[in-house]
């Protein structure tokens, strides 16, 4: 392997500021790309795509063929974990993920003994990717954070306010804790396996770190994320981790300190001045363009890109969106975005 500094994105996660920030795009493999839609159709189902290394490698690499990105992110989904635990997951076109909602008895029926066996094809995808990627490209592995994954497991689908899961956590604290404990344990195994298979860095997606009061944030977000980082570092002492607590607002600094992540993903609603003034000066940040500005393009995009570059110019910064790219995004706007970041 080449020295760490050849992989600019990894180096930035490790705290080394780059002249121009490295860039990747959250959800960069996906429906805004015609070649993705084609491979997806050929695969049949979405999970078939995730569990077929040949196809998963292909869709992971598609965005890198078009754009000068600094990283590939493994093509998979955060919901392969409930699937591997035996809770059936379906992805219906236009509906998002659908699961059989879990109750307390369902939690006790989850089977953690076969998670890595079930996810072997995903780990094979990681191995093939590292073998095929150029040396200077960082390979990002990932999982969903326990709370975010639990919101889907308990409600059976996405919801705007995570009501079912927040209610379950308060009303059935012991069963809820059993679920968190299972998710923490299997997430450590899964992330460690991804790093061992060749991922350079892993990101923990806490996409629903919002709508939580102080005590709920501490228990449902900080604590499980901290346990994952600590558990991972017990196995792999220098494991590089990006945390992305979307919507954490006033909790971002507390999250970074409590969990010990190397770098912090910032959502687009976080004010730039607030981020600058709240986080430790040397903490690497990742973000945070509103995906809507990438859809609109023009000055609406360019001006905000420049503001983000300026706000984080004095610290390690990975340019990214503040949430996932959406299907209606014009490809030409993505090209323009990369050009702006690479050339200023
Ligand atoms: O390039 C990549 O980032 C691809 C890998 C990836 C996917 N999902 C593929 C995917 C990653 C890193 C994710 C993460 C993910 N999945 C998150 C966290 C990030 C975020 O957006 O907050 C969440 C919450 C999920 C759960 C999930 N998966 C939802 C809510 C949906 C449906 C809505 C949507 O965005 O499409 C999915 C499906 C999904 N995951 C698709 C893709 C490309 C679309 C499925 C299709 O092709 O029909």
Torsion angles phi and psi, residue 274, rounded to 5 = -60, -45
Q: Could you list the active site residues?
A: 27, 31, 40, 77, 152
pLDDT tens by residue, 322-331: 999 999 999 9
Sketch out the chain's domains with CATH numbers: 24-284 (3.20.20.210)
Q: Is the CB of 155 under 6 A from ligand 1?
A: no
78 in ligand 1 pocket by Cβ < 6 Å?
Answer: yes
58 pocket-lining for ligand 1 (C-beta < 6 Å): no
Q: From start to end of the chain, where are the E strands?
A: 71-73, 89-92, 96-99, 138-144, 201-206, 241-245, 263-265, 285-289, 317-321
Among 140, 24, 157, CA closest to 79:
157
Ligand 1 centroid distance, CA of 105 (Å) = 28
From the CB of 40, is ligand 1 less than 6 Å away? yes
Which pTM value belongs to this model? 0.97
Question: CA 4, CA 16: separation in Å to the nearest integer?
Answer: 10
pLDDT for position 4: 60
Q: Is 79 near ligand 1, meaning CB less than 6 Å away? A: yes
- CA-CA distance, 174 to 255, in Å (whole number)? 23
Give, for ligand 1, the residue of 26, 61, 77, 244 to mutate: max count of ligand atoms closer than 8 Å to Cβ.
77
Of all protein residues, whose CA lies closest to atom 8 belonging to ligand 1? 77
Q: Give the number of the atom of ligand 1 that is nearest the alpha carbon of residue 142.
A: 12
Instruction: State how far the Cα of 300 lies from the Cα of 117, in Å rounded to an integer.
Output: 46
- Ligand 1 within 6 A of CB of 121: no
DSSP 23: B
Q: What is the pLDDT of residue 95?
A: 87
| Blockwise average pLDDT, block size 10, the chain, 344 residues | 76 97 98 97 94 98 98 98 97 91 98 98 98 98 98 97 98 98 98 98 98 98 98 98 98 98 98 98 98 98 98 98 98 98 88
DSSP tally for the chain: helices H, then strands E: 18, 9
Centre of ligand 1 to C-alpha 36, Å, is: 13
pLDDT value of residue 260: 98
C-alpha span between 121 and 307 (Å, rounded): 41
Residue 26 Cα, ligand 1 centroid: separation in angstroms? Answer: 10
**Sign of the CA dihedral running 31, 44, 198, 85:** positive
Establish whether residue 291 lines the binding site of ligand 1, counting it when its CB lies within 6 angstroms of any ligand atom.
no
Query: Running DSSP on this structure, what letter comes out for residue 325?
Result: P
**For residue 50, which atom of ligand 1 is closest to its CA?**
9
């Amino acid at each position: 392997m080449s020295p760490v500094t050849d992989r600019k994105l990894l180096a930035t996660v490790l705290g080394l500021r780059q002249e121009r920030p490295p860039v990747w795009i959250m959800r960069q493999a996906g429906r805004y790309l015609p070649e993705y839609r084609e491979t997806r159709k050929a695969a049949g189902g979405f999970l078939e795509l995730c569990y077929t290394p040949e196809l998963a490698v292909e869709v992971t690499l598609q965005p890198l063929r078009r754009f000068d990105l600094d990283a590939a992110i493994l093509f998979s989904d955060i919901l392969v974990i409930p699937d591997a635990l035996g809770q059936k997951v379906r992805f219906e076109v236009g509906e998002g993920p659908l699961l059989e909602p879990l109750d307390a008895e369902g939690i006790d029926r989850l089977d953690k003994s076969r998670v890595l066996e079930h996810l072997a094809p995903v780990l094979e995808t990681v191995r093939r990717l590292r073998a095929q990627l150029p040396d200077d490209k960082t390979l990002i592995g990932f999982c969903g954070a326990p709370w975010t994954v639990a919101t889907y497991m308990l409600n059976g689908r996405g919801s705007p306010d995570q009501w079912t899961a927040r209610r379950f956590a308060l009303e059935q604290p012991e069963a809820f804790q059993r679920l968190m404990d299972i998710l923490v344990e299997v997430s450590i195994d899964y992330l460690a396996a991804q790093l061992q298979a060749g991922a350079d860095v892993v990101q923990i997606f806490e996409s629903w770190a919002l709508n939580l009061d102080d005590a709920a944030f501490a228990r449902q977000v900080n604590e499980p994320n901290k346990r994952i980082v600590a558990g991972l570092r017990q196995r792999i002492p220098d494991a590089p981790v990006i945390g992305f607590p979307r919507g954490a607002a006033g909790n971002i600094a507390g999250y970074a300190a409590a969990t010990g992540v190397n770098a912090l993903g910032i959502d687009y609603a976080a004010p730039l001045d607030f981020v600058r003034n709240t986080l430790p000066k040397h903490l690497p940040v990742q973000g945070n363009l509103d995906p809507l500005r990438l859809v609109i393009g023009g000055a609406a995009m360019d001006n905000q890109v420049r503001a983000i570059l300026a706000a984080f110019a004095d610290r390690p910064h990975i340019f990214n969106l503040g949430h996932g790219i959406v299907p209606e995004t014009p490809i030409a706007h993505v090209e323009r975005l990369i050009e702006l970041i690479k050339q200023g």
